[in-house]
């Protein structure tokens, strides 16, 4: 009986020829990651346990991205605690203001994650790295502390749900629309503790940016991880940036899946997830006319260069509606630089949008775009829970960059064809 790609990665990480869903294993880690919110607790637990040195200063990665540049004294103190720990430990991969970016954008960008890796992060969207053919999952800060000390993680091997996406997508349909459609189909607990494996001709045609978006939101269906088997697109992305030799793995033809779900992407329209769950998805065309106060384009879900290109395509030569605050947040300094060289920043500024330094800021209601009571936002982020981006009486609609940009221009939820 064969294994899925997730089972193969985990078998390799625990030194076994074979593992099965439901087994408990100790897996060797390739990387352990934390940010300015989760690292302080992990550091305190690490030190409380009597640990003095991380298992490998090359493989513990700390990124200040949620409240940076620091918005207040408390966030400054959180960042200082992380900064001081990184210096004491001699961490090779510590990313601070001016050299940082949103963690799930910069780790792949800098070649820190490669196919075949096992990665844990004290952030739920660590599952993003599955797009590279890695097993990547979010953990709590105390589990992260143990990982920093030992270089291992204890876990149950997840079962795999395979999503075969076939067909040709319509205009303006992207990876964000695929994943919102899937979450809408199976629900926020439809893949509980499972690995969501994305496959099929439509996935094969997706860029790495689109694949990152899909895997990023696997957690919004309750999944342990998301994954795409490496192919020529993956290998091209890794070429020249991978810091370690990738381990290119694929599932066996006779692998056992918990479910296999077939999807024809030709039937998928640009999607919007209505308040207050990512599963509350509907075609954007059915929400036309819903008035919006703020649009956010960015985040670990849609803050990459392809996302900014999509938004700029719609905004070019147009103006943001006077009733809308449009905020564009490149996911990293490199994305920012590339957008600048391509003229995208000029397009956004000419349109009347604000362009920010890389930050998670508004996604979690941290800063750089908090909503007041009664306000609505369309955001390319990944969650729209009650109070997620500000006041509990505000509303967040999730969408891809095309719909977000069209909404910014019209002031109401809109399809790009209608601006």
| Pair 407, 292: CB distance under 8 Å | yes
CA–CA dist 80, 64 (Å, integer): 10
CA–CA dist 350, 352 (Å, integer): 5
**If you average pLDDT over every residue of the chain, what do you get?**
96
- Tell me, what's the pLDDT at 280? 97
Q: Has residue 418 got a pLDDT over 90?
A: no
- Tell me, what's the pLDDT at 104? 97
- Tell me, what's the pLDDT at 151? 97
User: If 0-12 CB within 10 Å is exposed, 13-18 middle and 19+ buried, where does residue 167 land?
Assistant: middle
- Split at pLDDT 50, 70, 90, the class of 220 is very high
CA–CA dist 6, 59 (Å, integer): 21
Tokens 């780790």 found at: 107
With a pLDDT cut of 70, the percent of the chain lying above it is 100
- Tell me, what's the pLDDT at 332? 97
Q: Has residue 179 got a pLDDT over 90?
A: yes
- Mean pLDDT of all residues in 218-236: 97
- In order of start, what are the domains of the chain with their CATH numbers? 10-263 (3.30.499.10), 270-418 (3.30.499.10)
3-state class (DSSP) for residue 308:
helix
What's the pLDDT tens digit per position in 338-365? Answer: 999 999 999 999 999 999 999 999 998 9
- Tell me, what's the pLDDT at 100? 86
Q: Has residue 419 got a pLDDT over 90?
A: no
- Mean pLDDT of all residues in 72-81: 95
- Mean pLDDT of all residues in 68-85: 94
- Tell me, what's the pLDDT at 1? 80
- Mean pLDDT of all residues in 81-99: 96
User: For residue 267, what are its two tokens?
Assistant: 């039937």
Ramachandran assignment for 298, one of left (phi > 0), alpha (psi -120 to 50 degrees), beta (any other): left
What's the pLDDT tens digit per position in 285-331? Answer: 999 999 999 999 999 999 999 999 999 999 999 999 999 999 999 99
């Amino acid at each position: 009986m064969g294994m899925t790609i997730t089972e193969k990665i985990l078998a390799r990480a625990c030194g076994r020829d074979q593992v099965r869903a439901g087994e408990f294993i100790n897996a060797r880690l390739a990387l352990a990651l934390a940010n300015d919110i989760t690292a302080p607790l992990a550091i305190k637990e690490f030190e409380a346990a009597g640990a003095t040195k991380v298992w490998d200063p090359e493989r513990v990665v700390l990124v200040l991205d949620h409240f940076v540049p620091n918005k207040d004294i408390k966030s400054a103190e959180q960042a200082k605690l992380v900064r001081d720990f990184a210096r004491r430990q001699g961490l090779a991969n510590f990313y601070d203001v001016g050299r940082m970016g949103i963690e799930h954008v910069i780790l792949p960008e800098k070649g820190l994650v490669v196919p075949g890796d096992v990665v844990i992060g004290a952030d739920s969207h660590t599952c993003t790295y599955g797009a590279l053919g890695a097993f990547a999952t979010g953990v709590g800060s105390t589990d992260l502390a143990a990982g920093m000390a030992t270089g291992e993680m204890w876990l149950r091997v997840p079962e795999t749900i395979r999503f075969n996406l076939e067909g040709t997508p319509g205009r303006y349909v992207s990876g964000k629309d695929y994943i919102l459609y899937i979450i809408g189909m199976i629900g926020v607990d439809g893949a509980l503790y499972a690995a969501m494996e994305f496959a099929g001709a439509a996935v094969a045609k997706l860029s790495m940016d689109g694949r990152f978006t899909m895997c990023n939101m696997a957690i919004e269906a309750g999944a342990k991880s998301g994954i795409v088997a490496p192919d020529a697109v993956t290998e091209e992305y890794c070429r020249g940036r991978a810091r370690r030799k990738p381990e290119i793995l694929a599932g066996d033809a006779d692998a056992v899946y918990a479910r296999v779900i077939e999807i024809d992407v030709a039937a998928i329209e640009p999607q919007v997830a209505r308040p207050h769950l990512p599963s509350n998805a509907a075609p954007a065309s059915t929400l036309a006319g819903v008035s919006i106060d703020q649009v956010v384009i960015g985040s670990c879900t849609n803050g990459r260069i392809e996302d900014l290109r999509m938004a700029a395509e719609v905004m070019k030569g147009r103006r943001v509606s006077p009733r809308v605050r449009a905020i564009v947040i490149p996911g990293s300094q490199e994305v920012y630089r590339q957008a600048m060289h391509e003229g995208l920043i000029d397009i956004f500024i000419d349109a009347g949008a604000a362009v920010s330094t890389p930050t998670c800021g508004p996604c979690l209601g941290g800063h750089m775009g908090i909503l007041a009571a009664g306000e609505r936002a369309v955001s390319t982020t990944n969650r729209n829970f009650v109070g997620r981006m500000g006041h509990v009486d505000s509303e967040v609609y999730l969408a891809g960059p095309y719909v977000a940009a069209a909404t910014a221009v019209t002031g109401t939820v809109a399809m790009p064809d209608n601006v």
